[in-house]
Amino acid sequence: MLTRRESFRGAAAVALCANAVSIVEAAAQSATGRSADSVAADETFWRSVRQAYRLDSRYIILNGGGNNPYPASVTDALHRFDQMASSAPRPHNYTLWGQVHNHRRRLARLMDCSPDELAITRNTTEGLNIVGWGLSLREGDEVLMADSEDQYASPIFAQRAKRHGILVRRVELPIEPTAKETVALFEQSMTNATKLIVASHLVDGLGYVLPIRELSDLAHDRGAQLLTDGALGFGHVPVSMKELNCDYYATSLHKWLSAPLGTGALFVKSDRLESLWPLYGTRRAADDIRKFEDIGTRSGPTLAAIGQAIDFYEHLGPDRKLARVRYLLSIVMTALENVEKVRVITEPDASKRAGLARISVSGFSGRALTSRLRDQYGLLTYGNWPGEIDGVYVSPNVFNTPREMKILTDAIKETAASSN
């Protein structure tokens, strides 16, 4: 049983978090007229933002590129909506589910596209599969992708190669490539049979930003299409479908937008919509974006709580968010710049850099380094997948602090010093 003191503390924390959105909104209003870069180092501002989360005090969360904690407003809404749906599922779950149409309009504004081009999916992987299996590719058609696409897109097209005889060709990109190098390597690898280019907006585990607009133009000039894995883009860096000009953009809302798990979005350019087959059978018209959402019963509470995540993101301000994570990452990069046995890999162009980097320590595999940082320092990072550069994937978020960045860099230095 909780003591009176524990009950009071718990009630106070709930009350504080319930008011967190208004606190963040007030902080944002106080920053009106200031540049995002000037706010990035304002710890008073960011202390207010941190209060909007219920974080596990045992850990320092630095794996935002995988899953991010929800703001308390999202958690509370999800709980409230779930109670509502379970009290009478038939009317209430469908009422909550219906909110997705308003969220579609709001997300479309943020992504600079038409609501009629945006499907609400369950995650990036589902969006990639919709496109990967929905394109009418024939035997001998080629799909061209970077060698960094091993985790999610690659298995889709590997199966299509086995089943339908398409060809999958890889482009080997250098570590920290320039935009010019990337485009040149893709162009050199294209043939008359190339029908699709697959490229990530931000490369998973390495942090560099691929030149999506230039790759889109290249694909279209050669009669091909471009599928973008935007898992790490939306909610993190500014995303405009009009500017990127890609044909398809799949993203997860539970990553940088901090919406509930099991939420994502898929952009399909209007002139590609009718010819793209849905993953599941549907009665909807071929030109209806909702044909990609017909997967059976979905969780109304999960879909409805997307709205609270959008509220939080808009109150905070996308430019401020990006400036903050860049600032926090810069602390890490500066502290580790000349440390022996340590390497930091991220986007080489500082003007394009986001909040993602890979840190490797000689003598430690990525998995071993992940375990050491977690078990000895309470630092939650993300280890590499097989075939990737050994190291840990670090992605700070708006609830992190400079002090936590120092704990990370001190831990990395101690680990490097212990390496034989």
53 located within any domain: no
Q: In the predicted model, what is the mean pLDDT of the chain?
A: 90
Rounded mean pLDDT of 31-42? Answer: 90
11 located within any domain: no
pTM over 0.85: yes
pLDDT of 10 over the 90 cut: no
4 located within any domain: no
* Boundaries of domain holding 209: 82-310
281 located within any domain: yes
Kind plus residue range of the DSSP H or E element containing 29: helix 20-30
Q: Between the ranges 59-73, 79-93, 317-331, where is the mean pLDDT highest?
A: 317-331
296 located within any domain: yes
Closest C-alpha among 294, 316, 262, 239 to residue 122: 262
Q: Structure tokens of 309? A: 């995540």
pLDDT at 103: 95
pLDDT at 388: 61
413 located within any domain: no
From residue 198, how far is each of 217, 238, 246, 387, 404 by CA, in Å? 13, 20, 10, 19, 36
Q: How many domains does the chain have?
A: 1
Higher-scoring residue by pLDDT: 11, 333: 333
Classified as helix, coil or strand, 59 is coil
Where are the strands (E) in 234-303, listed by range? 248-252, 264-268
64 located within any domain: no
Q: Structure tokens of 330? A: 């810069």
Q: What is residue 289's DSSP assignment?
A: G
Q: Structure tokens of 289? A: 């974006």
pLDDT at 147: 85
125 located within any domain: yes
Rounded mean pLDDT of 122-132? Answer: 97
pLDDT of 137 over the 90 cut: yes
pLDDT at 52: 93
Q: What is residue 112's DSSP assignment?
A: T
pLDDT at 19: 62
Give pLDDT tens digits for 67-90: 889 999 999 999 999 999 999 988
> Amino acid identity, residue 12?
A
Which pLDDT band holds residue 178 (cuts at 50, 70, 90)?
Answer: confident
CATH number at residue 162: 3.40.640.10
pLDDT of 6 over the 50 cut: no
Q: How many angstroms from the chain centroid is the CA of residue 51?
A: 22
Which pLDDT band holds residue 206 (cuts at 50, 70, 90)?
Answer: confident
pLDDT at 385: 58
